[in-house]
Structure 1
């Protein structure tokens, strides 16, 4: 017997394949977003444990660039889906200056005996097969008995069987041409639809799009403790990000030395328009991780102020990180 376990929070089953949660009593189904469902799974796996904002961001979004409100919005949506009060916070609690906590008392597993149901289905199917075979055998025996009776030769050549005893007869179809044609055309239609879907998928994934968002690592190997990633959608944005890289070169050199001294590493994701620079960094060491996102206006007009701002804020994050104990 195989037992399948389903995780549930406040009587809501987590159904990952369908991207939804299902109420165990009413059967109500609620669709969740990709990252909302991923966050619920992460909170369930760490139920009863406080997870910081940085830990949740790393486990759910896995290094992707997100806005400052992405995490609070996802928590708010989960509370509504799980019928949790945002003020009382019975299920998902906000721990000030620490993070979030999923109460373990609302979490449980449900088991389903899959193998037993399959064995019952197989037994029922076997019984039905035996009944069908018995009925067919009985009909065949009756047909053979009638075949030895005095039937005119002309009747043997016909497509239908005439019997002296109607209750011993079973009809033979005189024509199956229309049914056969219907099945053939149905199969052809399904095959045509499948071919169309395959061609559409090939076109969608193979034809390049002019405005497709791209994330490209640049300056690979130039800095020992810094990884730079440009995010651009058009050639014009790519040219602006290249200009920004040259503008901040001295700042990156200074930060790389400080990161090397503190045994830390930094990943930077940035995209730029004529007016706004979106700049996000992740700094990690062996025991901690910090994130900073900035939207800098008029970044092209004052290069010196831009360097000062990036250097100051990054050093602040490095200095705020906890020092890891020696192994």
Structure 2
């Protein structure tokens, strides 16, 4: 049985969503996907916060904002609006409700002779913009890094057109290209930092490494203690900074998160503190290696 939520197919094999028209893939974090399954199983019902915490995180000790973060992540992934809340509704003092009008159940599609039985495993793209989980691609696996980079480029393009919806500041499609530039930092050996750059747009003032150098050093020490790595992809504009965090622990377990920080230039110190805080929270929430 296929589960469709707002034209996004819930795909357990990818731990994420596949858009039925465009084929776009959005990978979710482990806990975010479990929460989506829980809400789908109770579509049209009010699900209490305690029940969600129990079903999603089981007996794990998590932060107070984990539930809010996960709900926000799902809203972003499904194209919901946190204010209007058409798909996932907040029921004050009770919990959350997945609007069953946006849920469609369809029979499984038969495999055709030309349809491949397996597909490349796309890298997860998480799910949020208030706080995060994330994961770093294994440097030894070049193919996965290429797949991830391509997927991030697509995401970046979408973010850019949201940032530049039109007018004098938007570059013509024919002359606008998105590229990835790595910001090397030898002293932070556990961190890889990549900037998404659009030709024709001056983003020299939005170089993340120059704004949060002190925080990056602290994050690197934290990653060293946890035997983990962090990869950061970001796109900086005047009004907001879009950041993708990818955290990987020593046993290859990965978490991902997308954040959008508005008015980030007003306090760049807080920007670094936020990334540090969410990286630490993610490391603490990741299950220990078996």
Which interval holds the TM-score relative to the shorter structure?
0.3 to 0.5
Higher relative contact order (CA 8 A, sep 6+): 2
Q: TM-score, normalised by structure 1?
A: 0.39
Q: TM-score, normalised by structure 2?
A: 0.44
